[in-house]
Amino acid sequence: MKKPIIGITLDNEKPGSYSKFPWYAIRYNYLHSIEKFGAIPFPLYHTEKNINELFSMLDGLIITGGNFDINPEFYGKLNNESRIIKNDRTNFESSICIKFLDSTKPILGICGGEQLLNVVCGGTLIQDIKKNNKNALEHEQINPRNETSHNVEIKHNTLIHKIVKNDIIEVNSAHHQAIDTIGKDLIISGCAPDGIIESIEHLKHKWCIGVQWHPEFLITNEDNNLIKNFVESSYL
């Protein structure tokens, strides 16, 4: 059986640190977590030019997180608390996401990728959790990112509940923004104890899940089950 090819979106950085010229970045475990379960990761550079060809060759899509926020203009708001803006990245990820939403190929949005999925579907974001709710959990966890920091309650009768097979799961956390209003045809499938939306699903798509945590670290059995099921769904 042919191994599925999974497109994984890249972060883009300005000149400095690694190179004096613009450069792309991806964390090691985004790629190797997919490879572990039998897929071939394919990093996606930001281009509208070859998007149809890229879509045709891919069997699944992971929209990653990164060192940036989605420009609030994309969801009709003024920039109040958003930090680093990368419109080129958001434009590309929106375009490739729409292509996949119009297909049956699986989509997994991770951290900022969950937020992107929500915005593409017409939802909005909380631009800074702490300034919106002083009693919120510490979603930019202090402990290492390869450890869990809080739990998420997973709703019954959802795809992710069938995958992780647990009502309460432990997750890591590395974000200062979150979903505010939910997008069209999306449902909330998991929340943190402070009410922050931690997972969403698309009602009309065969396999489309967004999670606010980083399952690519494969910290828990639930992380492993989620990545494994995503890869398995890309064979179909």
CA gap 236, 231 in Å, rounded? 10
* CA 48 to the chain's CA centroid: 20
Give the orientation angle of helix 112-120 with respect to helix 87-101, to 10 degrees: 70
Residues 94-126: b if buried by 16+ CB within 10 A, e if exposed: bbbbebbbeeebbbbbbbbbbbbbbbbbebbbb
- Give the span between the Cα atoms of 114 and 177, in whole angstroms: 11
CA distance 199 to 179: 9
Q: State which H helix or E strand residue 28 sits in.
A: helix 28-36
Q: What is the per-residue pLDDT across 90-127, written as a single tens digit (0 to 9) for each?
A: 999 999 999 999 999 999 999 999 999 999 999 999 99
Residue with tokens 């997008």: 183
Residue 117's pLDDT is: 98
Owner of token pair 């049956």? 104
Per DSSP, the three-state class of 15 is coil
Q: Are 39 and 29 in contact (CB under 8 A)?
A: no
Which tens digit of pLDDT belongs to each residue from 58-76?
Answer: 999 999 999 899 999 999 9
Of 128, 137, 139, give the one whose Cα is nearest residue 72.
Answer: 128
- Per-residue pLDDT tens, the chain, 236 aa: give them: 899 999 999 999 999 889 999 999 999 999 999 999 999 999 999 999 999 999 999 999 999 999 899 999 999 999 988 889 999 999 999 999 999 999 999 999 999 999 999 999 999 999 999 998 888 999 999 999 999 999 999 999 999 999 999 999 999 999 999 999 999 999 999 999 999 999 999 999 999 999 999 999 999 999 999 999 999 999 97
CATH-assigned architecture of domain 5-233: 3-Layer(aba) Sandwich (3.40)
Token output for 235: 């064979």
Q: How many residues does the chain have?
A: 236
* Residue 93 three-state SS: helix
